[in-house]
């Protein structure tokens, strides 16, 4: 049963601006953004009444598990413009991932297992991100994506740990130097020690305006490498990556949102070069119709 989550506020239409396989196009087939093709089952948008509340209290509808640095770096912020309220995340100068004790805690992270119990093998995640004007991307950092496990509410498929059915998988997005985008995937057939970069540079994140992100994950058939991930930026298909192995057995399913954003990497050279921030809003999860 999908948990009930606070309905999304009405969000005004946003101005659109803006490695292996990539594609583009519109229509009713797979190139159409996934929120157009999936039925929305969960939505979350903070309300004006959440401004000033303790972050974890405001996030309660998302059922956050294993929060890192949420109280330190995440707040509910009132804005002017098309989206009136957002989750604001701070990246202090010198910070890298929030689990690193030797540097300032940067960014924030939690799991939201909102699809647990649905046995989902395909899902769509949508949200909006706004990097402040002049955001310094440095070497790179993480952004939210979908994740899954074989039953537990969280995954350990991150942090350069091995990937198997017990650990699950993750498909976060990432920015690299200059704002170049990619999917940073922990799959069972990745060819790197840590996450594998998929589609690096297929798109570039702008600063100073909202960007609409949609990510579709299709789990593989156990024993086959037919898993897939697709990404749309401002309704434009920028990545259509096949050949992925998310699982070896049928017990692994998509669990929900892995809200994970920070600079890094774990080494100082990945650190945020100054105090800066980004806003997140209008989270939606969909399942096939």
pLDDT of residue 156: 81
Q: pLDDT band at residue 165, thresholds of 50, 70 and 90?
A: confident
Lowest mean pLDDT among 99-113, 225-239, 261-275: 99-113
Task: Report in angstroms the alpha-carbon separations of 67 from 5, 73, 258, 261.
Answer: 19, 11, 11, 12
In a domain, 140, yes or no: yes
Strand, coil or helix: what is 73? helix
Q: What is the pLDDT of residues 49-77, one digit of tens each?
A: 999 999 999 999 999 999 999 999 999 99
Q: What is the pLDDT of residues 87-119, one digit of tens each?
A: 999 999 999 987 777 678 899 999 999 999 999
In a domain, 182, yes or no: yes
% pLDDT > 90, the chain = 75
168/245 Cα distance (integer angstroms): 11
In a domain, 36, yes or no: no
Its domain, for residue 106, covers 61-272
DSSP for residue 35? H
Whether the pLDDT of residue 162 is over 90: the answer is no
Kindly report the CATH number assigned to the domain that includes residue 73: 2.60.120.200
pLDDT of residue 29: 56
In a domain, 54, yes or no: no
Rounded average pLDDT over 230-253: 97
Contact 64, 54 (CB under 8 A): no
% pLDDT > 70, the chain = 90
Lowest mean pLDDT among 26-35, 221-230, 234-243, 246-255: 26-35
Segments of the chain assigned E as strands: 38-44, 65-68, 74-78, 85-91, 108-112, 122-131, 140-149, 169-176, 181-186, 196-198, 210-218, 227-233, 236-244, 253-261, 276-288
In a domain, 257, yes or no: yes
pLDDT of residue 7: 38
The residue that leads in pLDDT, 96 or 26, is 96
Rounded average pLDDT over 133-143: 98
In a domain, 253, yes or no: yes
286/289 Cα distance (integer angstroms): 9
In a domain, 132, yes or no: yes
In a domain, 285, yes or no: no
Q: pLDDT band at residue 155, thresholds of 50, 70 and 90?
A: confident
Name the token pair of 167. 């650990």
Whether the pLDDT of residue 5 is over 70: the answer is no
Task: Report in angstroms the alpha-carbon separations of 98 from 73, 136, 137, 267.
Answer: 9, 18, 17, 12
Q: Name the residue with tokens 């093998």.
A: 121
Q: Give how many domains the chain has, as a whole number.
A: 1
Rounded average pLDDT over 230-240: 98
């Amino acid at each position: 049963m999908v948990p009930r989550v606070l309905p999304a506020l009405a969000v005004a239409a946003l101005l659109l601006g803006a490695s292996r396989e990539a594609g583009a196009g519109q229509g009713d087939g797979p190139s159409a953004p996934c929120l157009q093709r999936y039925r929305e089952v969960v939505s979350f948008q903070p309300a004006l009444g959440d401004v000033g509340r303790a972050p974890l209290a405001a996030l309660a509808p998302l059922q956050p598990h294993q929060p890192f640095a949420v109280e330190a770096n995440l707040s509910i912020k009132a804005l002017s413009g098309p989206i009136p309220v957002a989750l604001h995340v701070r990246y202090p100068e010198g910070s890298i991932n929030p689990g690193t004790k030797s540097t300032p805690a940067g960014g924030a992270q939690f799991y939201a297992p909102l699809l647990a119990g649905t046995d989902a093998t395909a899902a769509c995640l949508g949200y909006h991100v706004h990097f402040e004007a002049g955001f310094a991307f440095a070497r790179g950092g993480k952004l939210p994506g979908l994740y899954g496990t074989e039953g537990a509410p969280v995954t350990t498929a991150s942090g350069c740990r091995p990937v198997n059915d017990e650990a699950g998988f993750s498909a976060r997005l990432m920015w690299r130097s200059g704002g170049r985008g990619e999917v940073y995937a922990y799959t069972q057939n990745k060819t790197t020690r840590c996450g594998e970069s998929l589609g690096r540079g297929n798109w570039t994140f702008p600063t100073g305006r909202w960007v609409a992100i949609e990510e579709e994950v299709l789990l593989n058939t156990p024993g086959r490498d037919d898993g897939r991930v697709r990404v749309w930026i401002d309704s434009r298909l920028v990545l259509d990556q096949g050949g992925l192995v998310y699982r070896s057995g049928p017990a692994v399913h998509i669990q929900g949102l892995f809200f994970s954003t920070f600079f890094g990497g774990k080494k100082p050279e990945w650190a945020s070069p100054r105090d800066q921030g980004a806003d997140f809003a209008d989270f939606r999860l969909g399942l096939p119709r």
